[in-house]
Amino acid sequence: MTLHVTRSAGGTESDPAVVFIHGFPFNSAMWQPQLEALPPGWRGLAPDLRGFGRSELGADRGELPSGSRTGGRVALPDEPVLTMDRMADDVAELIKTEAASPAVICGLSMGGYLAFSLWRRHPQLVRALVLADTRADPDSDEARENRARTAASARESGARPVATAMLPLLLSERTLDERPEVGDAVRDMILDTPRETLVAALAGLAARRDSTDTLSTITVPALVLVGENDGLTPLALAEAMVERLPQARLQVIPGAGHVANLENPEAFNAALVEFLDSL
Ligand code: MLT
């Protein structure tokens, strides 16, 4: 499986890489402001994860560990599941193929779940982590039921009802009022996601494991970012992660909701660049 990758204009093949991992249900387009802001000496790689953007879904989507819970109807018995581990292994292949040395991994939300999986499975490929608007704990029963409902509507009607339901949860009121172009960009990414990918990824999200115990094993530097008004993965969850991470710093992104890198790219980029400079 070869992932489609959006690359920064600057940086050479021998420069260390920052690999940007998008959230659900987005694609690499969300990282454009960050790819443009990388300082000299760094190269940016933003893959479209399997099934998203311009990458194929493929037949091999991963095995669920026994005992995993997907919330009953998230996936029907004959529907394959897009697991966090499968997507993390795809990112590992990308780093092995394209990066000269271990990469800084910057993941937002689902991208953060993948970053935890990547650390557990391929720690030698990880130089540092940026964990944006994400969480270490797994889905609650209620969250799994919500995913089952979202999967049912995606199966039935595709991405449009998913976009309508998710948009007000993803973005802060300030973004929705003052930066409608950000809402349009996020809606476009959701509408670009095939229904088969939505259903398979929702099942993978519902079945993801608890990463809380992984946090204390993360011996590389970590930067935790969270939108000031992120209602999906709020500040308290970011603070709880920072308490367990051995080498982490927390920065709140003013005025932003859950998609902080697009809602306040100036503050997000300043924090990212300062972190890269510190490595
Ligand atoms: C994301 O932005 O990736 C999603 O909110 C993750 C999730 O649904 O858990």
Q: What is the pLDDT of residue 62?
A: 77
- Establish whether residue 23 lines the binding site of ligand 1, counting it when its CB lies within 6 angstroms of any ligand atom: yes
Q: Which of 110, 113, 202 to mutate to test the pocket of ligand 1 (most atoms within 8 A of CB)?
A: 110
Ligand 1 centre to CA of 170 (Å) is 9
Q: What is the pLDDT of residue 64?
A: 73
> What does the mean pLDDT of the chain come to?
94
- Establish whether residue 238 lines the binding site of ligand 1, counting it when its CB lies within 6 angstroms of any ligand atom: no
Ligand 1 centre to CA of 110 (Å) is 5
- Establish whether residue 42 lines the binding site of ligand 1, counting it when its CB lies within 6 angstroms of any ligand atom: no
pLDDT digits (tens, 9 = 90+) for 112-139: 999 999 999 999 999 999 999 999 999 9
The highest-level CATH class for domain 5-278 is: alpha beta
Averaged over 20-39, what is the pLDDT? 98
- Establish whether residue 223 lines the binding site of ligand 1, counting it when its CB lies within 6 angstroms of any ligand atom: no
260 touches 235 (CB < 8 A): no
- Establish whether residue 257 lines the binding site of ligand 1, counting it when its CB lies within 6 angstroms of any ligand atom: no
Q: Considering only CA atoms, which of 118, 115, 138 is closest in space to residue 237?
A: 138
Q: Considering only CA atoms, which of 21, 31, 1, 58 is closest in space to residue 186?
A: 31
pLDDT digits (tens, 9 = 90+) for 44-96: 999 999 999 999 998 887 777 666 776 666 777 667 789 999 999 999 999 99
Ligand 1 centre to CA of 9 (Å) is 28
231 touches 257 (CB < 8 A): yes
Give the Cα-Cα-Cα angle 118, 124, 125 (nearest 5 degrees). 60
For CA atoms 103, 53, 185, 135, the dihedral sign is negative
* Minimal-distance CA residue to ligand 1 atom 8: 24
* Minimal-distance CA residue to ligand 1 atom 9: 110
Ligand 1 centre to CA of 152 (Å) is 17
Q: What is the pLDDT of residue 247?
A: 97
pLDDT digits (tens, 9 = 90+) for 143-198: 999 999 999 999 999 999 999 999 999 999 999 999 999 999 999 999 999 999 99
- Establish whether residue 116 lines the binding site of ligand 1, counting it when its CB lies within 6 angstroms of any ligand atom: no
pLDDT tier, 258 (very low <50, low <70, confident <90, very high otherwise): very high
- Establish whether residue 24 lines the binding site of ligand 1, counting it when its CB lies within 6 angstroms of any ligand atom: yes
pLDDT above 70 as % of the chain:
96
Ligand 1 centre to CA of 217 (Å) is 23
> Which residues touch 175 (CB under 8 Å, ≥6 apart)?
182, 183, 255, 256, 257, 263
Ligand 1 centre to CA of 109 (Å) is 5
Q: Which of 116, 189, 232, 263 to mutate to test the pocket of ligand 1 (most atoms within 8 A of CB)?
A: 232
> What are the sequence ranges of the domains in the chain?
5-278
d(CA 30, CA 32): 6
